[in-house]
Amino acid sequence: MLDFSDTSFAEFFASELQVNIDDPKFFANGGSKGKRLRYFLQHCDDPTALRVLAALWEHRCEYLARSGAKDPVANADLRYQGLIDRLSGGVSPKPMQPAPAPVVDRQKIANIKSELLRVSSLSAQTRGFAFERFLKGLFDAFGRAAQEPFRLRGEQIDGSFQLGSDTYLLEAKWRGKPIGVADLHTFHGKIEQKAAWTRGLFVSISGFSEDGLVAFGRGKRVICMEGLDLYEMLDREIPLNQVLERKVRRAAETGMPFLRVRDLFPG
């Protein structure tokens, strides 16, 4: 069923609906994921069915885009919309309105840019904690407050944040050399161990090696930012949300995990 494993299928229901789909009552017609889903939909109310179908449809669209696979179902969009219309009494659920763009404090952004330059001048021994403070201030300034822990492990910072309906895990490294394929694969391995809708943002001050990006390949669940991205974003006062959203969109279109801010926002 799509790319769900038994574990990620259970995590999906627990996260979206706070439902234990592994409860024996859902095995009445069989233990497969499809049969448990069908039993659940047959015995829940219409609003709940709408919620789970909308979430599954979004996951399905992302899965097809990510894999590049051809849709195996003819007229899938029309069939899905017809089902939604029947469940909602002929009135499609009102789409969620996008959250208003956060008001950016220009002085705060200037201070953060100065902090990035200051951190770059520090010794390796003191740079880690300063980089931690810088990233936390960056996310807060743009209304993307990262969830704890934002803990330092050597010079690696772990955390998570929400972008749209997706949860992103964050990894950040400050090294003298560009990040290679080994670190990219290690981070992607962490993402693959989480729920199917988990994504990742890898921030590397020194950037990423061309050979590493080629070896890492396309179609991964990770987007990348380099130090120059951070500086140009702050210098041009481009909201962090816009940078991340454009990186995500171009990654979906091209399969490439890393595209520079200067290429995404020319001129």
Mark whether 117 and 50 lie in a shared domain: no
| Residue 95 maps to a domain | no
Mark whether 178 and 128 lie in a shared domain: yes
**pLDDT at position 201:** 93
Mark whether 251 and 133 lie in a shared domain: yes
**pLDDT at position 153:** 45
Of the three residues 59, 87, 115, the one that is the final residue of a domain is 87
Mark whether 111 and 82 lie in a shared domain: no
**What is the residue range of 43's domain?**
6-87
**pLDDT at position 158:** 60
**pLDDT at position 16:** 64
Mark whether 177 and 150 lie in a shared domain: yes
| Residue 94 maps to a domain | no
Place 222 in a pLDDT band, splitting at 50, 70 and 90: very high
Mark whether 139 and 18 lie in a shared domain: no
Place 219 in a pLDDT band, splitting at 50, 70 and 90: confident
Listing from the earlier edge strand, what are the strands of the sheet with 147-153? 147-153, 156-163, 166-173, 198-204, 222-226
What is the signed CA dihedral for 44, 50, 51, 57, rounded to 10 degrees?
120
How far is Cα 68 from Cα 51, in angstroms, rounded to an integer? 26
Mark whether 77 and 114 lie in a shared domain: no
Of the three residues 52, 87, 122, the one that is the final residue of a domain is 87
Residue 83 backbone class (left: φ over 0; alpha: ψ -120 to 50; beta: rest) = alpha
| Residue 92 maps to a domain | no
| Residue 101 maps to a domain | no
| Residue 96 maps to a domain | no
Strand pairing class (147-153; 156-163): antiparallel
**pLDDT at position 88:** 62
pLDDT over 60 at 164, yes or no: yes
Place 208 in a pLDDT band, splitting at 50, 70 and 90: very high
Q: How many helices (H) and strands (E) does the chain have?
A: 11, 5
Mark whether 11 and 75 lie in a shared domain: yes
Mean pLDDT over each residue of the chain, to the nearest integer: 79
Instruction: Give the count of domains, the chain.
Output: 2
Q: pTM for this structure?
A: 0.60
Mark whether 132 and 227 lie in a shared domain: yes
User: Does 104 or 76 have the greater pLDDT score?
Assistant: 76
**pLDDT at position 87:** 64
